[in-house]
């Protein structure tokens, strides 16, 4: 079945460092891909999405490109801030409307 694999955390970075969180997927058909962020004690917020191959989703300095050839949707940011500290979830959405989530990656940014 469909699945999402993302790098295990925690990822600890200094402020202004470059961030990459890897995400790969397995799916039949042509899923949409999402990154959600969860701040401590809160629910998930949609960070960005891409609905077809080669689409690039971007928001708040974060980017991810839908790569069909490598079945990947890696999250990147050029310069992280302390306020970016959160758990990041990669997710896949298929024809059934269900979202399949990765296990989440905790990002801790130190000043």
Partner 1 sequence: GAVVSQHPSWVICKSGTSVKIECRSLDFQATTMFWYRQFPKQSLMLMATSNEGSKATYEQGVEKDKFLINHASLTLSTLTVTSAHPEDSSFYICSAKGEREEDTQYFGPGTRLTVL
User: Which stretches of the chain bind partner 1, using CB under 8 A?
Assistant: 32, 34, 36, 42-46, 49, 51, 89, 93, 97-99, 101-104, 106
Residue whose CB is less far from partner 1, 8 or 15: 8
Residue whose CB is less far from partner 1, 17 or 59: 59
What tokens does 86 get?
């959160």
Handedness of CA 105, 46, 57, 82 (dihedral sign): negative
CB of 88 to partner 1, least distance (A): 11
Return the number of other C-beta atoms located less than 10 Å from residue 38's C-beta: 16
Return the number of other C-beta atoms located less than 10 Å from residue 17's C-beta: 14
Residue whose CB is less far from partner 1, 43 or 111: 43
């Amino acid at each position: 079945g469909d699945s999402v694999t993302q790098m295990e955390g925690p990822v600890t970075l200094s402020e202004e460092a470059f961030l990459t969180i890897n995400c790969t997927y397995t799916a039949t058909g042509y899923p949409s891909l999402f990154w959600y962020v969860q701040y401590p004690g809160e629910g998930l917020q949609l960070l960005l999405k891409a609905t077809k191959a080669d689409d690039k989703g971007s928001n708040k300095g974060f980017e991810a490109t839908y790569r069909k050839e490598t079945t990947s949707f890696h999250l990147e940011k050029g310069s992280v801030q302390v306020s970016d500290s959160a758990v990041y979830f990669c997710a896949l959405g298929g024809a059934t409307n269900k979202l399949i989530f990765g296990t989440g990656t905790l990002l801790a940014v130190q000043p």
